[in-house]
Amino acid sequence: MSLRFRRLRIRVTTSDGIFGVEIPFVDGLNVIRADNTSGKSTCFQAILYALGLDAMLTARQHQLPLTPVLTDNVFDEASESELRVQSTELWLEVEGGGQEVATFYRPVVGLGDHRLITVYESHLADDMSTKPGRQMFVRIPGAATGEHGFHRWFAKDFLKWELPQVERNDGRSSQLYLETIFPLFFVEQRFGWTRIQGNMPYVFGIRDVARRAAEYVLGLSISETQLQRVALGAQLRELQGRYSAIAKSMQALAGTSGSLVRGVPDSMPGDDLAANILIPQDGKWLQLPERQSFLRGLIQTIGHEMKERRRAASSQILGAQHRRAELLQTITERQQILRTEAQERLALGRRRDDLIEQLRKLTDLRSLARMGGRAGGDVFGLHCPTCWQPVADSASPGIKNVLSLDDTISFVDSEQALLQATLAQVDARSRALTAELQQLERELNVVDASIETSHASSDDDGLVVQTTQYVEYRHQLQSLDRLAGELSARVDEANALIRESVKLRTAMSLLPVGLSQEDEVKLKDLEETFRSQEREYGFKSFAIDELSISRETYKPTVHDFELSFETSASDGIRTIWSYLFGLLELRRGNQSMHHIGSLIFDEPRQQSTAEFSFGQLLRHASLATVFGDQAIFFTSDEAEAIRAELMGSTYNMVEFAGRMIRRL
C-alpha cells in the first residue's frame, strides 16, 4: 500500500568517461539541495521515468520526457565542454509496504529499448548485471493490464492496488491509470504548481479523471458506487447497442420486403415493444396479419378457380372424346354402307348397260325381221328346210314357245326402266349418305377442335395468368410468414434486452446517491487538516473558515467555487502544499485510502512564496518521519536557511555543490 524511495542512480556514458549521480532517500523528510539549473529537475524526472510515468511529463508518446543531459550532451565541468551522450541508464530502488525491496532499471538512450523496465527484487548494488531480473514494458498498449505490463505488476503486485474501471469520454470503460493517480504524490516544477494535479495527463480520455483519481486516492465509497454505476452504465450501453442493432436489422428486414416496421424506436424503450409491420396495398398500409389473411384468401380463391377450370376442362374433354368415338363408329358404318351401295350401283349399272345392249340388239333384230321378208326370204320365218316345220327362234332346241320380239323388247325395256329407277334410288341414297358423312366429318372436326381447345385450355392465357398470380401470392405469403417469424424472433430478443435493461436501471436507481457517512467523515477530516495547514502557511486570500473541500470535486473551494490561483500565486502554492499534505496525513488514520505515503516536490518554494511559509512547510514535512511517511523536496534554497528552519527536526539533507550529474 505504500511506496518508499530508497535510491536513485543515473549513469551517463560519454566518449570521455562516465558521468552520473546517486541519491539516497530515507523515511521522513529528504531535502535534496542544489543550485538552480544544476540537475534537480533531471533527477525528479528520472524518478518518474524509472516508474514509467512518462505521461505525466509529456503528452507525446514517442518523445523522451527528459532533459538533454540524459539524452544528448553532458557538460564536463573539468574540461568545460559538452560531451556527447553515448548511453544513459537509470536505476531506482524502492520499498513497498511490507518492506519488500525492488530495483527498477530503465535505459534512456543507447542501450536497448527504452520501453522495457527490468525489475530486480533486490537492493540496488554496484553491479546489477548478475542479479535476476524480469523485463516488463511501459508506454505501449497493455502496459497497465497486460501480463508483462510494468504498471499492471507495479499496481497489483507491488502496491497491492486494485485499480478501478472508470468511464471514458467515449462511453466505454477503462482502467484508471497510474499516471492519473501519481499527480497527487508528485509535483513537478513546470506545471505542477499551477494547480492541484497539475501534472495530470488527459490523453487517456477518462471522464472526470482528476475527480476519479482523487476519489481513488481518498478511497471514497462513492467510488465503489461510481464503479458499479459505470459497470451498470457500460452494460446498459452494451444492451442499448445490441438493441439498436436489432432495431436497425428489423427496419432493414422490413425494408427488403417493401414494408415498414412501426413501434420499434431507435433508442431502447422502457417497455416491451409493440411492434407491427405495415405493408402497402392499393395505396393503403395494412397490418402484417391483415395482409397475410388477405393473401391467404386470395390464394384460396384463385386455387379454387383454377381447380374448377381444370375440372370443367377435363369433363368437357371426356364428353368430347365420347362423342368422338360415337362419331367415328357412325362414320365407319356409313362408309361401309356407302361402299356396299357403290358396289351395288356398279352391279346395277352393268346390268343396266347389259339391258341397254340387249334392247339395242332386240330392236335391231326386230327391224331386221320386218325387213327380212323382203330381203332374206324366209330367214326369219324359220321353218325347217327339210321338214318344213316351224322352228322356234331359240338357239336352244329345247325351247319351243319363245316370247315374241315385241314382248321381249317391252319386257327388257320395262326391266331397264325398273333398273333405272332402282339406280336413281341407290344414287339418292348414296348422296344422302355422302351428305350425312360430310356432316359427321364436320362434327368430328368440331369435336376434335373442342378436345384440342379443352386440352389447350389447361394452359390458356387465363389459366397462365391465374397460375402466375397464384405462385406470386404464395411466394409473397411465404416471404411475409418468414418476415413475421424473423421479426417476432427479433422482437423477443429486443424485449429480453429491454427487460434486462429495466433490471439494470432499477439496480442503478438503488445505488446510493452522494457520499456515505464514512466518506463525509473522511472529507471533513481532510477539510480540517487542510484549513489548519493553510492557516499555518499563512494563506490570506480568504478567511480560513470560508475554505472547504468540495463534496463534488474533492478539491478546495471557497463558497462552493473552486479556489482560483489567479488572485495570489503564493496562496495557490500554499493550497497545493496544504491539500497534498492533507491527503498524506489523512492516510495515517485511514487504511481504506490508496496513498503511497510519499510526496515528492520539485522546487516547492517557488519564488513567490515567503521564506516564512516555506519554513513552516519544511517543519510540517519533517513530521513525516514521526508517522513513517516520506517527503522528498528538490530545492535550490540556501542550505543554511533550511538548516535554520529545521533546527531540532529530523531530516535528511543531500547537498550538491555544482552540477548533480558529474564525472564519476
Residue 366 beta carbon to another protein: minimum distance, rounded to whole angstroms: 10
Q: Where are the alpha helices (DSSP H) in 257-287?
A: none
**What does the per-residue mask of binding to another protein show for 362-401, with x meaning CB under 8 A?**
x-xx-xxx-xx-xxxxxxx-x-xxx----xxxxxxx-x-x
Task: Using the minimum distance from each CB to another protein, give the nearer residue, 263 or 390.
Answer: 390
Q: Which residue type occupies 421?
A: A
Side-chain-side CA neighbours of residue 260 (13 Å): 10
Of 203 and 391, CB closest to another protein: 391
Distances (CA, A) of 469 to 284, 300, 355, 462, 475: 21, 12, 78, 11, 10
CB 349 to another protein: min, Å: 12
Whole-number Å distance between alpha carbons of 421 and 344: 14
For the sheet with 556-558, list strands across it: 547-549, 556-558, 561-562
Q: How far is the CB of 342 from another protein (least distance, A)?
A: 19
User: Which residue in 533, 638, 659, 629 sits closest to 30, CA to CA?
Assistant: 629
Q: Which of residues 403 and 664 has its CB atom nearest to another protein in the complex?
A: 403
Name the minimum Å distance from CB 388 to another protein.
11
Least distance to another protein, CB of residue 341, Å: 23
Residue 419: CB minimum distance to another protein, A: 15
Complex with another protein: residue 128 or 365, whichever CB lies closer:
365
Question: What secondary structure letter does DSSP report for 510?
Answer: H
Assess contact for 268 and 240: CB atoms under 8 A.
yes
Minimum Å gap between C-beta 429 and another protein is: 27
Yes or no: say if 31 and 158 are a contact pair by the CB < 8 Å rule: no
The C-alpha cell 380463391 sits at 301
Please, which of residues 335-364 interact with another protein by CB under 8 A? 353-354, 357-358, 360-362, 364
Judged by beta carbon, residue 58 or residue 363, the one nearer another protein is: 363
Cα of first residue to Cα of last residue in the chain, in angstroms, is 36
Which residue, 26 or 382, is less far from another protein as judged by CB?
382
Pick the closer one to another protein by CB: 368 or 653: 368
User: Within positions 494 to 523, which residues make up the interface with another protein, using CB under 8 A?
Assistant: none
CB neighbour list of residue 320: distance below 8 Å, 6 or more residues apart? 447, 450, 451, 454
407 backbone dihedrals φ, ψ, rounded to 5°? -65, -40
Q: In the window 521-550, what residues touch another protein (CB under 8 A)?
A: none
417 is an interface residue for another protein by CB under 8 A: no
Shortest spacing between CB 323 and another protein, in angstroms: 47
What is the smallest separation between the CB atom of 430 and another protein, expressed in angstroms?
24
Nearer to another protein, 99 or 389 (CB): 389
559 Cβ contact list (under 8 Å, min separation 6): 546
Task: Give least dist CB 332 to another protein, A.
Answer: 33
Query: Can you tell me the distance from the alpha carbon of 65 to that of 48, in angstroms, rounded to the nearest whole number?
Result: 10
Q: Least distance to another protein from the beta carbon of 438, Å?
A: 34
Task: Identify the residue among 73, 122, 321, 408 touching another protein (CB under 8 A).
Answer: 408
* Residue among 323, 306, 164, 171 nearest 234 (CA): 171
| In the complex, minimum distance from the CB of residue 355 to another protein, in angstroms, rounded to a whole number | 10
Q: Which is nearer to another protein, 258 or 398 (CB)?
A: 398
Question: Does 281 participate in binding another protein (rule CB under 8 A)?
Answer: no
Q: CB nearer to another protein: give 62 or 400.
A: 400
d(CA 243, CA 249): 10
**Which one of 125, 318, 346, 403 is in contact with another protein (CB under 8 A)?**
403
Nearer to another protein, 371 or 511 (CB): 371
Please give the Cα distance from 25 to 343 (Å, whole number): 150
C-alpha gyration radius of the chain = 63
Among 402, 437, 544, 569, binds another protein (CB under 8 A): 402
Task: Rank residues 364 and 427 by Cβ distance to another protein and give the closer one.
Answer: 364
Distances (CA, A) of 337 to 334, 424, 427, 436: 5, 17, 13, 12
Q: Which is nearer to another protein, 410 or 564 (CB)?
A: 410
Q: Is 411 in the site for another protein (CB under 8 A)?
A: yes
Least CB distance to another protein at residue 358 (A): 5
**If phi over 0 gives left and psi between -120 and 50 gives alpha, with beta otherwise, what is residue 52?**
left
Region of 140 please: left (phi>0), alpha (psi -120 to 50) or beta: beta
Name which of 36 and 386 has its Cβ closer to another protein: 386
Nearer to another protein, 362 or 600 (CB): 362
Distance CA 153, CA 144 (A): 8
Nearest to 586 by CA among 543, 532, 541: 532
Size of the site for another protein (CB under 8 A): 41
Strands 651-655 and 28-33: parallel
Q: Nearest approach, Cβ of 371 to another protein (angstroms)? A: 5
Residue 10 near residue 66, CB atoms below 8 Å = no
C-beta neighbour count of 316 within 10 angstroms: 16
**Distance from C-alpha of 611 to C-alpha of 364, rounded to nearest angstrom:** 187
CB of 377: closest distance to another protein in angstroms? 6
Footprint on residues 184-243 left by another protein (CB under 8 A) = none
Q: How many CB atoms lie within 10 A of CB 331?
A: 16
Say how many residues make up the chain.
Answer: 664
Residue numbers at the binding site for another protein (CB under 8 A): 353-354, 357-358, 360-362, 364-365, 367-369, 371-372, 374-380, 382, 384-386, 391-397, 399, 401-404, 407-408, 411-412
